[in-house]
Amino acid sequence: MRFRWSGGSCASLFLWAIVSSCAGSSRTTPAPAGGKCKADCPVCDPALGCVECSSDANCPAGKPRCVRGSCEVCTQNADCPATSPTCFPDDHKCHGACTSTTCSGETALCNAITGACVGCNSNADCADPETPLCDPVTSQCVTCLSNANCGSKTPLCYVRQGKCVACLTNADCPPAAPVCGTDLTCGSGNGCSSETCGPDAGTM
């Protein structure tokens, strides 16, 4: 029995093998080691951790707005229908407009201009010295909005939670404690210094 090999077919087969191999191991964005980015993180933002979007263009029709790496329903009232006309900044979902009696808990204030229940309208609403800043994205009182708000012990601002942390990736850690754990502290372990490495560890 004779086998006839075609140079073109062989080249095509070789190219297909290379493409298939690469496709199986490719990443959208290589994740820096440590911090909130797990090994299987598809897209990693050094400041935010694992994210599902970097712009509105990455989000589906049902959640068309990219807010700090997460696809959300709305960022402003213009994104909402007439039946639920107000975008609440704490969950970025559309709700009915607030009244003086409908807001409570962490969103106890009714913003008369936007109609949203909020945690704060300005820094003046943030009485706790531990969280003196009003986050303009979530309308919640937070510790920091940028690294400039943090001290030397925890010099980096993890803006998703508005808190100062020691590290965001391994690159922020000293040689004596080279691993940035999922709790954003430096240590010598496997990246899970005080939180469990579960399926959701490192996503937020």
Sequence spans of domains, the chain: 121-167
* 3-state secondary structure (DSSP) of residue 78: helix
Task: Answer yes or no: is pLDDT of 21 > 60.
Answer: no
Residues 149, 126: Cα–Cα separation, whole Å: 15
- Total residues belonging to the chain: 204
Residues 103, 119: Cα–Cα separation, whole Å: 9
- In this prediction, residue 133 carries a pLDDT of 98
Residues 86, 77: Cα–Cα separation, whole Å: 5
Task: Answer yes or no: is pLDDT of 73 > 50.
Answer: yes
Task: Answer yes or no: is pLDDT of 186 > 50.
Answer: yes
| Mean local confidence (pLDDT), 172-191 | 86
pLDDT digits (tens, 9 = 90+) for 123-175: 999 999 999 999 999 999 999 999 999 999 999 999 999 999 999 988 999 99
Average pLDDT, the chain: 81
Sort strands 44-45 and 70-72 into parallel, antiparallel or unpaired.
unpaired
Tokens 């140079």 correspond to what residue? 7
| Mean local confidence (pLDDT), 73-82 | 98
Residues 40, 48: Cα–Cα separation, whole Å: 16
The DSSP result for 119-185, as a single string, is S-SSGGG---TTS-EE-TTT--EES-SSGGG--SSS-EEETTTTEEES-SSGGGS-TTS-EE-TTS-
pLDDT digits (tens, 9 = 90+) for 31-72: 456 788 766 777 788 788 888 999 999 999 999 999 999 999
Residues 40, 71: Cα–Cα separation, whole Å: 19
pTM for the model: 0.74
Of 28 and 197, the structure prediction assigns the larger pLDDT to 28
Q: What percent of the chain has pLDDT over 90?
A: 63
- With a CB cutoff of 8 Å and minimum separation 6, the contacts of 114 are 77, 86, 87
- 80 token code pair: 């909402």
H helix count then E strand count, the chain = 1, 14
Measured in whole angstroms, the distance separating CA 107 from the mean position of its chain's CA atoms is: 21
Q: What percent of the chain has pLDDT over 70?
A: 74
Residues 32, 176: Cα–Cα separation, whole Å: 19
8 Å CB contact between 56 and 73: no
- In this prediction, residue 47 carries a pLDDT of 85
